[in-house]
Amino acid sequence: MEFHRFFFYASIILSISVYLFPIMANSMGINYGQIADNLPSPEDVVPIVKSIGATKVKLYDADPKVLKAFANTGVEFIVGLGNEYLDKMRDPAKAQAWVKQNVQSHLPATKITCIFVGNEVLTFNDTSLSSSLLPAMQSVHTALVNLGLDKQVTVTTAHSLSILEASYPPSSGAFREDLVDCLSETLSFHQKTGSPFLINAYPFFAYKGNPKQVPLDFVLFQPNQGVIDPATNLHYDNMLYAQIDAVYNALASLGYKKLAVHISETGWPSKGDEDEVGATADNAKKYNGNLIKLMSKKTGTPMRPNSDLNIYVFALFNENMKPGPTSERNYGLFKPDGAPAYSLGISSTSNVAGSNTTTGGTNGKPLSPIPTPPSTPTSSSTGYLSISPATERYEFAGTVLLTALILTKMLLW
């Protein structure tokens, strides 16, 4: 590395460690998207990832330059197989060739622990994609078995929260009826192979869609009175935990109560268009800063208090070539030059919603009745198209985000 470049990144890392992340999260995951023409080299990204305490990285492909740069660092990787590869991966021979080239060749130096096959496939309403999903996952897993890698590398896929038909209260969490058959087969695969269930969750969209009705403090993990699930008497003081527990309940309703759930994407944009209410640096600082504080405590949700949260923050960098609204290009914790996009201001773990989840309402008083959830969403997030970050994640809609109808009467009384 040239001396001037080394000096530049060394100074960046020093400023990050004392200013941006004075408290680092244990087992923090980060999404490393690369839809940009001005990002640092993978070699320069290594110290940036380490500076934030991230021990896990999720890629949207299996970029060999990135995987080689992180060799012998101990950082765990999830690599991606894009939606455009699903049909091809149905062929066991092609799946094995891909695994050999993109996974086996990097082991054991680079710690690849998981392959996610497709992203938010079931909410694309594309039958050709959805019918190819499980066969592709099975072929990739078979390839791992044949190569003797199945004990160290799992196979999964990432879902949008739009796979839920009901999400509030969390105890009523249920999958869409039209997806139950397909999901049941996929869940059986997860159970047999020991792979996690991945969900992309964005409370930002709930606030953006109804900023006058959805309490900002509730979505930003700020102190607030929270809500009570009347069926369980569990107290929720942030939206993300409510979303996660809704997923746990949906899984339990199909007989998969013990299946591990990982949050493969969540984040908040630091900039947006005029109609993207809430997309500010201050809100991004609060959301991501408070989230990282909670991750550092290694506690779970109200329903699973003893289960560590496996969360991948979206995203490492602002990506200047992503299509869509301005927010899509401003989810990064860092600017392309490696400088922090904003200070997370993490200096303590106090006064963070979710840090002390309990039962009961405010002063022991239950909150107002649960309103009827909206109908099943007719559109969903496209999430990460192929192996790339989302182009239209902003279209995410429906009950799964606990929108205004879910919170209006619950929190504003």
Q: Which residues are catalytic?
A: 120, 265
CB 296 within 8 A of CB 27: no
* Cα Rg of the chain (Å, integer): 20
- The label of the residue with tokens 């600017």 reads 335
CA distance 1 to 243: 44
DSSP bridge pairs for 234 = 229, 359
Burial classification of residue 234, based on how many CB atoms lie within 10 Å of its CB (0-12 exposed, 13-18 middle, 19 or more buried): buried
- The label of the residue with tokens 């949050």 reads 263
Question: Between β-strands 234-236 and 227-229, what pairing exists: parallel, antiparallel or unpaired?
Answer: antiparallel
CA distances from 46 to 10, 40, 214, 216, 306 (A): 12, 10, 38, 34, 31
CA distance 258 to 265: 21
Nearest CA to 201 among 142, 267, 154, 151? 267
CA distance 127 to 231: 36
Terminal Cα distance for the chain, rounded: 59
Burial 332-345 (b: 16+ CB within 10 A, else e): bbbbbebebbbebe
Q: How many C-beta atoms surround the C-beta of residue 381 within 10 A?
A: 28
**Strand locations in 224-308, DSSP E?**
227-229, 234-236, 261-266
- The label of the residue with tokens 């022991």 reads 364
Handedness of CA 17, 23, 29, 32 (dihedral sign): negative
Going by the DSSP 8-state scheme, the letter that residue 196 receives in this structure is P
